[in-house]
């Protein structure tokens, strides 16, 4: 059995601001861009131990960060989201206008929605972000 380490999102480099209204006005595309990076770094860190071949490590990470897995993760989270979080997810879904050919549009929208939520929580509420990430990975 593979043991995962669950890092706190203590790597947060964004300057904490009391001006939450500025964060609330960020575009869903920006939030998804940040959320994608945060999620991948979190997953990479979670699968870091125990040490193994780089190819095995890479395959595990890719399996977690692919759009299909993110879409399924969002479905799993839906019942536990607050109304504000559901609104962020909706904004992320509505902001996607294109998708890769290999994916159905709704899968890509759901994956982008999850990334938008992660980006938002990264900037607004790292404690809640930790709760969500630990439940997903």
Segments making up each domain of the chain, as ranges: 27-135
Cα 119 from Cα 97, distance rounded (Å): 19
3-state secondary structure of 2: coil
Q: Is the pLDDT of residue 99 over 90?
A: no
Question: Model confidence at 5, in pLDDT bands (50, 70, 90)?
Answer: low
Higher pLDDT: 86 or 25? It is 86
Active site residues: 36
Residue 24 is predicted with a pLDDT of 81
Q: Is the dihedral of CA 39, 43, 48, 52 positive or negative?
A: negative
Q: What is the pLDDT of residues 112-134, one digit of tens each?
A: 999 999 999 999 999 999 999 99
Higher pLDDT: 112 or 137? It is 112
Q: Which of 69, 63, 48 is nearest to 115 (CA)?
A: 69
Question: Model confidence at 17, in pLDDT bands (50, 70, 90)?
Answer: low
CATH top-level class for 27-135? mainly alpha
Q: Is the distance from CB of 116 to CB of 32 less than 8 angstroms?
A: yes
Residue 67 is predicted with a pLDDT of 92
CB hemisphere CA count around 52 (13 angstroms): 16
Residue 9 is predicted with a pLDDT of 52
Both structure tokens of 137: 């990975």
As a whole-number percent, the residues of the chain with pLDDT over 70 amount to 83
């Amino acid at each position: 059995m593979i043991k995962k380490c669950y890092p706190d999102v203590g790597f947060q480099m964004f300057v904490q601001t009391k001006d939450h209204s500025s964060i609330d006005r960020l575009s869903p595309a920006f939030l998804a861009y940040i959320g994608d990076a945060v999620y991948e770094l979190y997953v990479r860190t979670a699968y870091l131990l125990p040490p193994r071949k780089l190819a095995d490590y890479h395959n595990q990470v890719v399996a977690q960060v692919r759009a299909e897995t993110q879409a399924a993760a969002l479905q799993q989270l839906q019942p536990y989201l607050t109304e504000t979080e559901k609104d962020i997810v909706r904004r992320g879904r509505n902001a996607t206008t294109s998708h890769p050919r290999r994916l159905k549009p709704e899968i890509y929208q759901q994956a982008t929605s999850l990334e938008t939520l992660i980006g938002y929580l990264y900037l607004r509420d790292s404690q809640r972000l930790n709760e969500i990430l630990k439940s997903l990975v």
